[in-house]
Amino acid sequence: GKGDVSRCVMKIDLDLFKEVNDTLGHDAGDRLLVHVADILRATTRKQDIVGRIGGDEFVILLDDPPSLAMIRSLAQRITVAVAQPVTLNHAQCRIGASIGYTLATSGDATADQMLIEADLALYEAKRAGRGQAFAYSDALATEIEMRRQLFREIREALAQDQFEVYVQPQVYTETGEVYGCEILARWRHPQRGIVPPATFIAAAEEAQLVDQIDRIAVEKGLDFLEHANAQGIDLPTISINASPPTLRDVHLTDRLLQEVHARHLTPAHLTVEVLESTLIENDDDLALHTIDALSRAGFKVVLDDFGTGYASMSNLSRLKLDGIKLDQSWVKPVPDPRADSIISALVTLSRSLNMSVVAEGVETPAHYACVASLGCDVVQGYTVAKPMPAGDFGDWYETYTNGHALRA
């Protein structure tokens, strides 16, 4: 070699292999593995070692590779070749390969260490999506370790009951009356204080913990609603955010029914906010089924961040929804001739489909006046109130309704 790279360990993991095995049977799966092995042999040099180390995992050892560029190009050729469709049992199927690799520049890296590094790089490649190749680096290892640390902290925080809810009021544009509150998760960290969801929701989803956070939001949100009612505040509904795993839970509707009935509330007291991206990304039958069940049970379902995805219109036609939440990015530019026309058209469309429109991110009195005049039914945003601890809501409500009575 050129002396810069002395050895390379490349780990290859097949994408969608399990699906082929499950749908076409183990014979087809076996033939697919042979097919991949053929590709690996054809793309490597005679002296390279190719082995299968697990169900659908392969390893290539390259001693004295000619250059880093050659390794990159090898990874590229493998991902391209494996992604080509193959015919098995008269059915065309497509799989893919994700690759992680690591290089040793001196003789001191042990085989075990190199396999661990290739595995970390592979983990990152899988995380980035299918069909990608990633190289190991110390920075990558640090990043992965930091993420795992965050996973551990979130798990610990769940065990210590450190997740709380803030509530943000939503008001009718027509009467100014309070329509409800969105329930927003917060992490009360013993050292860092109140941590916003941007820091933990994505990590919780990756660690498969986000449904537990959603569950806490429902329980603490309904406790809050019950408490508000007991204080004589008539709060018609609370909105909670349902992450993709929550929506894929076939017991969700039953569980929510139990939660509302345990507090002598009705399903109408709970609005479930569903992200457009949930429905777009996986075209998720299970999620669509849950939405249907929720709505038949009497819960309200609204489409959150409306207008940020590509499938807004098709979602409106295939789902029975109670409303849309117009994303902040639509509200920010108003008043503006184009944005105003789009909002006004969406309001007309929603009316004809019997859906309400909530405008989100209403930050200024000018925003408020504009979206109200365009026909949005409800507003939520800093100009009405910022999200607040559930315990502060009573005082806010009193001040708000008094001020409102004075203005009226």
Please name the helix (run of DSSP H) or strand (run of DSSP E) that holds residue 389, with its range, or none. Answer: strand 388-389
Contact between 276 and Ca ion by CB under 5 A: the answer reads: no
Contact between 259 and ligand C2E by CB under 6 A: the answer reads: no
Site for Ca ion in 53-82 (CB under 5 A): none
Contact between 184 and ligand C2E by CB under 6 A: the answer reads: yes
Q: In sequence order, what are the beta bridge partners of 61? A: 9, 49
Contact between 305 and ligand C2E by CB under 6 A: the answer reads: yes
Please tell me whether residue 395 adopts helix, strand or coil conformation.
Answer: helix
CA–CA dist 224, 234 (Å, integer): 12
Contact between 222 and ligand C2E by CB under 6 A: the answer reads: no
Given Ca ion, ligand C2E, none, residue 363, with its beta carbon under 5 to 8 Å by kind, binds: ligand C2E
CA–CA dist 218, 356 (Å, integer): 22
CA–CA dist 22, 177 (Å, integer): 54
Total of chain residues touching ligand C2E, rule CB under 6 A: 22
CA–CA dist 293, 55 (Å, integer): 38
Determine the interface stretch with ligand C2E among 13-21, 133-141, 248-256, 359-367 (rule: CB under 6 A). Answer: 359-367
Which lies closer to Ca ion via its Cβ, residue 241 or residue 356?
Answer: 241
Contact between 259 and Ca ion by CB under 5 A: the answer reads: no
Contact between 273 and Ca ion by CB under 5 A: the answer reads: yes
Taking phi over 0 as left and psi of -120 to 50 as alpha, with beta for the rest, 67 belongs to beta
* Burial of 257 (C-beta count, 10 Å sphere; 0-12/13-18/19+): middle
Tell the smallest beta-carbon distance from residue 273 to ligand C2E (Å): 6
Contact between 305 and Ca ion by CB under 5 A: the answer reads: yes
CA–CA dist 293, 277 (Å, integer): 20
Given ligand C2E, Ca ion, none, residue 244, with its beta carbon under 5 to 8 Å by kind, binds: none
Given Ca ion, ligand C2E, none, residue 201, with its beta carbon under 5 to 8 Å by kind, binds: ligand C2E
Determine the interface stretch with Ca ion among 148-156, 261-269, 284-292, 296-304 (rule: CB under 5 A). Answer: 296-304
Contact between 196 and ligand C2E by CB under 6 A: the answer reads: yes
Contact between 303 and ligand C2E by CB under 6 A: the answer reads: no
Which CA distances in Å does 1 have to 5, 44, 74, 211, 405? 7, 16, 16, 51, 83
Q: Compute the Cα dihedral for 262, 266, 270, 272 and give only its sign.
A: positive
Q: In sequence order, what are the beta bridge partners of 302? A: 273, 323
Which lies closer to ligand C2E via its Cβ, residue 82 or residue 371?
Answer: 371
Which lies closer to Ca ion via its Cβ, residue 14 or residue 247?
Answer: 247
Positions in the binding site for ligand C2E (CB under 6 A): 168, 184-185, 196-198, 201, 210, 213-214, 217, 241, 243, 304-305, 328, 361-363, 381-382, 387
Positions in the binding site for Ca ion (CB under 5 A): 241, 273, 304-305
